[in-house]
């Protein structure tokens, strides 16, 4: 009896153990399934803009399963950043196409001049980038067998008179260059009257061939006096040549239109339902508006899907059309209807989220490009990471990452923002409506003309800068604007002058605030509610966005002084984005 009882107890314990194992397995599978489902759910959509901040005029091409995308850079150096992706959503910067002074002369250029609307294409093992250096040289092509570089020196195309060139490679082996040009006989019939023209282009000689062809005069409907037909691209699909371009200018009336022909030289017939993309007819006071959509480029994936990249803006005050982040790059699906491509099908509003392309997912880049994030640059590399920008072409070395090591040290040079030259200024894009930038500087000014600090820069006539200088014989931290108006200042003690100075700017739409600290983390407000609309494109004009960075100058006087920056922090926190998607780097 006792033996039987022990056996029964043993069986009960075994069953109980099995039940616990089964329950644990079920819970584990449920957790894993839920985690996987959650991850899949997170992968089901992507966040627009895919390039927030000053990343305008996107151009894209596919080579096999790889995608390459470039942007305008205007008077910033290096020129034309190039990115790589396999899923169209997550992008890694692999280089800057124009990264040598002999490729890009920006001397004397206004901030919104320089490089206009580059386009990228690929044929038979070679990548081609064609663009316009406005005011100084015109149109040119550079080539590379590796998109990360090096790229060739420019091949100039003097008889292509206009802007926004692109190359189309036909399946019969011929190539063509299409561009925005003057009105017929250079006699515009109204303001903004432009044309689209084309030459055959010899890739071996890098020269045009044969006669020039007039493809579009004015726009899709000349009777309505369409303005600024520009950014043309040609695609061949199912026996038709499609000519796509922007109309209406790059502000709130921006749009994308499409025409087609059975011959590459035309005549091109416009789509009756043009435009195929615009937001101009929507209420200006709609919440979280996406505005000024246009300057698009199309790409077909290896899976057969079509997608469009295009520029747009995010005004923070709706009807006021004020935005400081510049023109940004969005991604949207394309559907074909009755033989015509439609961007953003089924939606009137451009969406901040779409279903992801049917492509293998790619890991996010180490340097975050979209979403909310916090990022610290500690200047520990031997070279500056490629997302950092200078203004105009550098001619002599004026910064160091090794003297001392782990810091960015700027020469305090006579050049200043008052001149159209390369200055001691290293910056990154403001990519969010709401966020902050901060740094710490070691600098002992010797004279009133010497200054080093942090800048929120839109152009030569619209910027704020906070930093250290002298007022008579006293060191001060000072905030001033581009016209040299002093907005606020605080005298530093002799002890504080010998310590590192922490500097910070916060921004929230049209309101900026500037802080300083002489002890880490103990921020003191220097001035609140500084007019941020002064830095907006609507007020400042031009085609760029705000950049935030480190600056040093002796304002026209010789100097041997230097300013060292230990780190640079950037934080973005826009309501349209998910919670912070990237942690702070070590040392934050």
Residues with active-site annotation: 57, 230
3-state SS class at 265: coil
Cα of 235 vs its chain's centroid, Å: 25
Cα of 263 vs its chain's centroid, Å: 35
3-state SS class at 539: helix
Pairing type for strands 115-123 and 138-144 reads unpaired
Q: How far apart (Å, rounded) are the C-alpha atoms in residues 265 and 395?
A: 43
Structure token pair of residue 49 = 């803009």
Contact of 569 with 588, CB cutoff 8 Å: yes
* H-run or E-run covering 17: helix 2-43
Q: How far apart (Å, rounded) are the C-alpha atoms in residues 73 and 163?
A: 14
* DSSP code at position 575: T
Question: H/E/C letters for each residue in 391-460?
Answer: ECCCCCCCEEEECCEEEEEEECECCCCCCCCCCEEEEEECCCCEEEEEEEEECCCCCCCCEEEEEEEEEC
Peptide bond into 150 cis (omega under 30): yes
Q: How far apart (Å, rounded) are the C-alpha atoms in residues 7 and 2?
A: 9
Nearest Cα neighbor of 410 from 238, 201, 292, 568 is 568
Query: What residues form DSSP beta bridges with 334?
Result: 306, 343
Residue 137, Ramachandran bin (φ over 0: left; ψ between -120 and 50: alpha; else beta): left
Q: How far apart (Å, rounded) are the C-alpha atoms in residues 311 and 55?
A: 8
Q: How far apart (Å, rounded) are the C-alpha atoms in residues 426 and 386?
A: 11
Residue 452, Ramachandran bin (φ over 0: left; ψ between -120 and 50: alpha; else beta): beta
Cα of 354 vs its chain's centroid, Å: 20
* DSSP code at position 377: E
What would you report as the CA-atom Rg of the chain, rounded to the nearest whole angstrom?
Answer: 28
Nearest Cα neighbor of 97 from 78, 117, 122 is 78
| Residue count (the chain) | 588
422 Cβ contact list (under 8 Å, min separation 6): 77, 106, 107, 390, 391, 392, 393, 394, 395, 415
């Amino acid at each position: 009896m006792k033996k039987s009882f022990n056996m029964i107890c043993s069986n009960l314990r075994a069953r109980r153990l099995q039940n616990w194992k089964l329950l644990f397995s079920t819970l584990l599978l449920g957790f894993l399934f839920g985690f996987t489902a959650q991850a899949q759910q997170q992968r089901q959509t992507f966040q627009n803009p895919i390039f927030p901040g000053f990343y305008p005029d996107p151009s894209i091409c596919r080579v096999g399963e790889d995608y390459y995308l470039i942007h305008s850079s205007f008077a910033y150096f290096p020129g034309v950043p190039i990115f790589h992706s396999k899923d169209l959503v997550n992008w890694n910067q692999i280089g800057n196409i124009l990264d040598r002074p002999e490729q890009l002369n920006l001397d004397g250029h206004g901030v919104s001049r320089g490089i206009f609307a580059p386009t990228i294409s690929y044929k038979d093992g070679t990548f081609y980038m064609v663009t316009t250096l406005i005011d100084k040289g015109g149109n040119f092509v550079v080539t590379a067998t590796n998109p990360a570089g090096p790229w060739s020196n420019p091949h100039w195309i003097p008889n292509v008179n206009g802007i926004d060139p692109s190359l189309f490679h036909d399946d019969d082996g011929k190539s063509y260059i299409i561009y925005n040009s003057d009105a017929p006989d250079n006699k515009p019939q109204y303001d903004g009257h432009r044309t689209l023209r084309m030459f055959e282009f010899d890739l071996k000689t890098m020269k045009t061939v044969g006669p020039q062809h007039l493809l579009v005069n004015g726009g899709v409907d000349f009777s309505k006096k369409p303005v600024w037909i520009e950014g043309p691209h040609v695609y061949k699909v199912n026996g038709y040549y499609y000519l796509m371009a922007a109309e209406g200018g790059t502000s709130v009336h921006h749009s994308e239109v499409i025409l087609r022909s059975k011959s590459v030289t035309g005549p091109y017939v416009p789509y009756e339902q043009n435009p195929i993309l615009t937001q101009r007819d929507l209420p200006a006071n709609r919440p979280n508006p996406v505005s000024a959509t246009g300057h698009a480029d199309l790409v077909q994936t290896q899976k057969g899907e079509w997608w469009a990249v295009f520029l747009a803006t995010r005004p923070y005050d709706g009807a006021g059309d004020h935005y400081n982040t510049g023109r940004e790059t969005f991604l949207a699906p394309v559907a074909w209807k009755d033989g015509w491509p439609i961007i953003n099908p089924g939606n009137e509003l451009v969406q901040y989220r779409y279903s992801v392309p049917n492509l293998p997912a790619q890991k996010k880049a180490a340097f975050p490009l979209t979403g909310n994030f916090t990022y610290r640059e500690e200047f520990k590399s031997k070279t500056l990471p490629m997302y950092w920008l200078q203004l105009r072409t550098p001619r002599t070395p004026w910064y160091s990452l090794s003297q001392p090591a782990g810091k960015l040290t700027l020469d305090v040079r006579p050049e200043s923002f008052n001149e159209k030259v390369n200055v001691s200024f290293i910056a990154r894009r403001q990519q969010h409506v709401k966020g902050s930038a901060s740094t710490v500087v070691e600098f002992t000014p010797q004279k009133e003309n010497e200054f080093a600090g942090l800048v929120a820069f839109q152009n030569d006539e619209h910027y704020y800068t906070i930093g250290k200088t002298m007022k008579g014989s006293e060191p001060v931290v000072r905030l001033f604007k581009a016209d040299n108006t002093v907005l606020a200042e605080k005298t530093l003690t002799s002890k504080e002058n010998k310590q590192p100075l922490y500097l910070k700017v916060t921004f929230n739409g049209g309101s900026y605030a500037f802080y300083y600290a002489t002890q880490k983390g103990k921020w003191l407000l220097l001035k609140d509610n500084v007019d941020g609309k002064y830095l907006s494109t609507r007020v400042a004009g031009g085609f760029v966005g705000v950049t935030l960075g480190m600056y040093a100058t002796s304002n026209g006087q010789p100097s041997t002084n230097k300013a060292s920056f230990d780190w640079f922090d950037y934080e973005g926190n826009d309501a349209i984005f998910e919670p912070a998607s990237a942690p702070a780097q070590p040392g934050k």
